[in-house]
Amino acid sequence: MQNVEEFKLDEWSEELMMACRETAAQPRSEFALQGSYVSALCLDELRSLSTDADLGMLDGKLTLDYGTHEGSLRLRRRIAQLHSSDGAAALAAEHVLVTPGSIMANYLVLGALCGPGDHVICQYPTFAQLFLVPRFNGADVGLWRMREGEGWMPCLDELVRMIRPNTKAIILNNPNNPTGAVLSKEMLLRIDEVARQHDLILFCDEVFSPLFFADEPRPPSVVALGPAGGGSRSIVTGSLSKSFAIPGVRIGWLVTRDEELMRRIRTARVYTTLSVPCCRG
């Protein structure tokens, strides 16, 4: 990447977070309203949520080696279950790659999607990484703007008009950060159809799923749309940091049925992350 700008949102958030933690005995504030995740759980709180009354916090026999590059099989199976939905082809462990947080998952996906001379379309407003990393990689980024007066919902006609011969992907964030807007299953199916018609990869950052605040039924993951799933050219990312309230464990992931896309991501991952945290799932 070249000409990388400062990540101003992260710097601002960290400055306020440090103010909240100025001293353990006398923090300057009780609540950090700038954060984008549920208040993090402590280990005792996490253990109290387990259905296994005999569960210990530490596995004394767990070898702290590099582990498997993809993440533990049990964890990947659970992640596959999380993103599967009724009526769609089931996802499996081989469709999942574990990463140290979703920010690394996003970085790997975006690096595999586009490069110099390519064009991508990104839902906006959204988490800055999703449109800045492609730009830093030399791609041209078109911002598909959501408008407050329209409930932060997209216009599909505008999406179609934005597609070019060199367009490689459509990038979504559902539920959306920062608006909280949720794309319904019907809307996701229509976007997926546009992607299919133009042979585009559909990438969705689902880091806030399943934390939905909407009257409509919870939409499925983009990789589990329709009887055949979301199509082989869809990919999503997620993590334990936001809705699961344990960002300190640094567990994220990406999920796709696209074998070639997964191969490219695994190849690139070796240069950034040799292994992931030891977690049995």
Q: Helix-strand-coil percent breakdown of the chain, rounded to 5?
A: 35, 15, 55
What pLDDT sits at residue 155? Answer: 97
What pLDDT sits at residue 143? Answer: 99
Predicted TM-score (pTM) above 0.95? no
What pLDDT sits at residue 215? Answer: 72
C-beta separation of 211 from 242 below 8 A: yes
List, as one string, the DSSP characters of 119-154.
EEEEEES--THHHHHHHHTT-EEEEEE--GGGTT--
Could you give all domains of the chain from N- to C-terminal order, each with its CATH number? 8-35 (no CATH), 73-269 (3.40.640.10)
- Number of Cβ within 10 Å of residue 158's Cβ equals 12
Long-range CB pairs of 114-120, under 8 A, 24+ apart, other chains included: 114/139, 114/168, 114/169, 115/139, 117/166, 118/166, 118/167, 118/168, 119/164, 119/166, 119/167, 119/168, 120/167, 120/168, 120/169, 120/170, 120/171
First to last CA, the chain: 34
What pLDDT sits at residue 46? Answer: 79
- 191: helix, strand or coil: helix
| Number of alpha helices (DSSP H) and beta strands (DSSP E) in the chain | 8, 7
What pLDDT sits at residue 33? Answer: 62
The alpha-carbon radius of gyration of the chain (Å, integer) is 19
One pLDDT digit (tens) per residue for the chain, 281 residues: 667 777 666 666 666 666 666 555 555 566 666 566 667 788 788 778 878 767 776 777 777 777 788 899 999 999 999 999 877 788 999 999 999 999 999 999 999 999 999 999 999 999 999 999 999 999 999 999 999 999 999 999 999 999 999 999 999 999 999 999 999 999 999 999 999 999 999 999 999 998 887 677 889 999 998 666 555 689 999 999 988 888 888 899 999 999 999 999 999 998 988 788 765 55
What pLDDT sits at residue 248? Answer: 83
Long-range CB pairs of 15-19, under 8 A, 24+ apart, other chains included: none
